[in-house]
Amino acid sequence: MTFRLVSELSQRIKRAATVGGVLTPSIVSVCDSLGNTPILFIHGTADPIVLWEGINPGWCSAENTVQFWMGINHCSQEAERDTFQDLDPNDGCSVDAYSYRDTINKSDVFFYKIVGGGQSVARRSSFATCLEYGSIVHGFQCLI
């Protein structure tokens, strides 16, 4: 839903954040010429709902989703990488953060890869145990 809003209302949206979502073919088809919207994307490699590899034929994987937004926003292919402190060593997940910079329009792409985690109420290694994503999204909203 977030990516659809960015694709349809890019002139009205200052920045967008999504947790556990990938691009669909219908969104990719209308996003070709857009840009200048900073993106924060959080996705788990073990997400049982929105798979890391994509859901259906034609849907982007998490990594292809990041690459797509990097291209749209004219970001550097070189990432600034950060690893977060493991909040719970017993939950089986960790967080790697990648920042891809757009030095012209400041339309950066921030990607938080939850290694071993995903969306789940029942599973112990959910986004909530791996990353304090509320504070990450709040900080992203305060940029600029």
DSSP string for residues in 55-100: SSTTPPPHHHHHHHHHHHTT--SSEEEEE---S-TTSS-EEEEEEE
Mean pLDDT, all residues of the chain: 79
Read off the pTM: 0.83
Residue 66: the pLDDT is 94
Q: What is the DSSP string of 17-31?
A: EEES----HHHHHH-
Q: Give the total residue count for the chain.
A: 144
Write the pLDDT tens digit of every residue in 91-136. Answer: 888 889 999 999 888 899 999 998 888 775 444 444 455 566 566 6
Give CA–CA dist 122/18, Å, rounded.
21
Give ∠ CA 82-15-72 in degrees, rounded to 5.
Answer: 80
Mind listing the pLDDT tens digit for each residue in 40-61? 998 888 888 787 888 777 788 8
DSSP string, 107-119: --EEEEEEET-BS
Q: Residue 144: pLDDT above 50?
A: no
